[in-house]
């Protein structure tokens, strides 16, 4: 029994030892588990941190991608703008190049290009080389009569005619205000003469087809042909210019007379009273001149002045000439220009030059308050003083757009009232007493 108990006790001790070992093992395992749990927690935290970092990186990457996309869009815009800017620059360069070699009004070549072409064509293989020099007839008269807008139109029409009549290989240049020059490479005298004839013919055709125009297209031409290599182009150009001027002397006088006749006809068409007014003025002026005892030559000039004293009105707008209400300050300034315009028109025409100074002064007042030069008393030419009185009387005794006619007595009283201020008192008195047959007092 005792042995059995000892055995059992030993077994219990063994079991207790094993249990203690197992408990220690279990405690160790639990410690390991706790360590692993702690490590796992740390690993989870690390993983969470890494995930947060990844999310931040992803967010930054998204922002970076958006920024990159924006930058790419901006680059594309800049590229597009640069393309447009380059095209614009290229266009401007072409425009500058075109303007540097072309006349802005007509589109023909200018003097700069012409002079370069002269150098280029001064070689043997271009022989025979012909030069045509052209000068517009009556341009100054057109500018003075109708204004520079009409003058520009005149120049443009001439340029069109030159283009139509010349060949594609010919060099046509506007080398001055009213001057043109044409270079004709490999062209003999016969070819050049034919081209000149075509130009003259087309000018005539233009006149036939534009009868309502207030001016005629006319150009004087001269040409020379270079056939020998050692001849200088400058020399043949001078010869062409001399030939042109000879022709111009023959053309200009008749053209100017035609233009002035056209102006008179146009005035009569625009203002119904003009022809009747001119007839009355001629009669009254001649009677006044006779009463004053002026010479026959001056009487003839006075009669011509009666016809042409208002010729400058051709350049005044119809709306001003025919206005029924009082003119504004600007309109009155424009109206007052007609005496100066008339002066320039008649000054440029030999047949009428002797009356141009009278036209210029026919609105000067005796007291110096007139226009355009504020002449006073006998500084005003005699014929201008006569026409001023007669014109005023005729204007007062006939209907105007802005008022009805005055009676003869009313007009006489107005002349008396303005005698010594507007009118030469001696001429006013003689006009009333000798021409109208009325008493001064």
In this prediction, residues 114-130 reach a mean pLDDT of: 89
pLDDT per position as a tens digit, 125-173 = 889 999 999 999 888 878 877 778 888 999 999 999 999 999 999 999 9
Yes or no: say if 343 and 364 are a contact pair by the CB < 8 Å rule: no
Rounded distance, CA 142 to CA 158, Å? 14
* pLDDT of residue 273 exceeding 60: no
Most confident of 191-205, 230-244, 337-351: 191-205
Question: 155, 135, 133, 157: which is closest to 143 by C-alpha?
Answer: 155
Q: Would you state the pLDDT for residue 261? A: 67
**pLDDT at residue 225, rounded to an integer:** 93
Per-residue pLDDT at 233 exceeds 90: no
pLDDT exceeds cutoff 80 at 304: yes
Nearest 10 degrees: CA dihedral of 401, 403, 409, 414?
Answer: -100
Structure confidence at residue 250 as a pLDDT band (50, 70, 90): low
- Averaged pLDDT for residues 257-285: 72
* Residue with the larger pLDDT of the pair 91 and 288: 288
Q: What is the pLDDT of residue 258?
A: 66
Q: What is the largest CA-CA distance in the chain?
A: 195
Beta-ladder partners of 369: none
Given a cut of 80, whether residue 397 has pLDDT beyond it is yes
Give the model confidence (pLDDT) of 59-72 as tens digits: 998 999 999 899 99
State the Cα torsion 228-233-234-240 to the nearest 10°.
Answer: 90
Q: What percent of the chain has pLDDT over 90?
A: 49
Q: What would the mean pLDDT of 342-346 be, rounded to a whole number?
A: 87
H or E, element range at 182: strand 179-184
Per-residue pLDDT, averaged over 339-359, amounts to 87
**What pLDDT is attached to residue 146?**
74
Mean pLDDT of 14-19: 84
At 92 the pLDDT is 77
Segment among 228-232, 268-272, 385-389 with least mean pLDDT = 268-272
Q: 178: pLDDT confidence band, cut at 50, 70 and 90? A: very high
The closest alpha carbon to 173, from 126, 132, 123, belongs to 132
Q: What was the pLDDT predicted at 291?
A: 96
Closest CA relative to residue 157, chosen from 112, 107, 198: 107
């Amino acid at each position: 029994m005792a042995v059995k108990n000892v055995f059992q006790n030993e077994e219990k001790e063994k079991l207790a030892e094993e249990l203690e070992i197992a408990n220690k093992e279990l405690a160790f395992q639990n410690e390991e588990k706790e360590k692993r749990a702690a490590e796992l927690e740390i690993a989870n935290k690390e993983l969470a941190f890494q995930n947060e970092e990844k999310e931040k990186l992803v967010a930054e990457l998204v922002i970076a991608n958006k920024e990159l996309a924006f930058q790419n869009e901006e680059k594309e815009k800049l590229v597009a703008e640069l393309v447009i800017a380059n095209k614009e620059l290229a266009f401007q360069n072409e425009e500058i190049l075109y303007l540097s070699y072309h006349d802005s009004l007509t589109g023909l070549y200018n003097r700069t290009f012409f002079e370069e072409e002269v150098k280029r064509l001064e070689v043997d293989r271009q022989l025979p080389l012909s030069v045509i020099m052209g000068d517009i007839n009556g341009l100054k008269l057109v500018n003075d009569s109708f204004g520079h807008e009409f003058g520009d139109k005149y120049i443009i029409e001439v340029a069109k005619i030159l283009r139509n009549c010349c060949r594609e290989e010919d060099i046509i240049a506007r080398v001055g205000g009213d001057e043109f020059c044409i270079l004709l490479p490999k062209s003999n005298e016969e070819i050049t003469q034919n081209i000149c004839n075509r130009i003259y013919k087309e000018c005539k055709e233009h006149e036939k087809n534009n009868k309502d125009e207030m001016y005629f297209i006319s150009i004087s031409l001269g040409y020379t042909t270079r056939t020998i290599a050692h001849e200088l182009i400058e020399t043949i150009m001078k010869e062409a210019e001399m030939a042109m001027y000879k022709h111009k002397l023959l053309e200009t006088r008749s053209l100017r007379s035609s233009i002035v006749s056209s102006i008179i006809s146009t005035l009569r068409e625009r203002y119904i009273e003009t022809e009747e007014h001119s007839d009355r003025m001629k009669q009254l002026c001649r009677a006044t001149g006779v009463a004053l005892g002026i010479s026959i030559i001056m009487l003839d000039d006075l009669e011509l002045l009666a016809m042409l004293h208002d010729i400058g009105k051709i350049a005044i707008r119809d709306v001003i000439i025919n206005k029924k209400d009082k003119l504004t300050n600007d309109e009155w300034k424009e109206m007052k220009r007609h005496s100066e315009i008339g002066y320039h028109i008649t000054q440029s025409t030999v047949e009428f030059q002797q009356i141009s100074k009278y036209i210029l002064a026919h609105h000067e007042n005796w007291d110096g308050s007139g226009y355009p030069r504020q002449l006073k008393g006998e500084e005003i030419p005699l014929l201008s003083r006569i026409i001023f009185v007669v014109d005023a009387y005729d204007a007062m005794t006939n209907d105007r757009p802005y008022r009805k006619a005055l009676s003869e007595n009313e007009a006489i009283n107005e002349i008396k009232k303005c005698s010594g201020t507007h009118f030469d008192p001696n001429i006013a008195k003689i006009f009333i007493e000798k021409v109208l047959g009325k008493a001064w007092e």
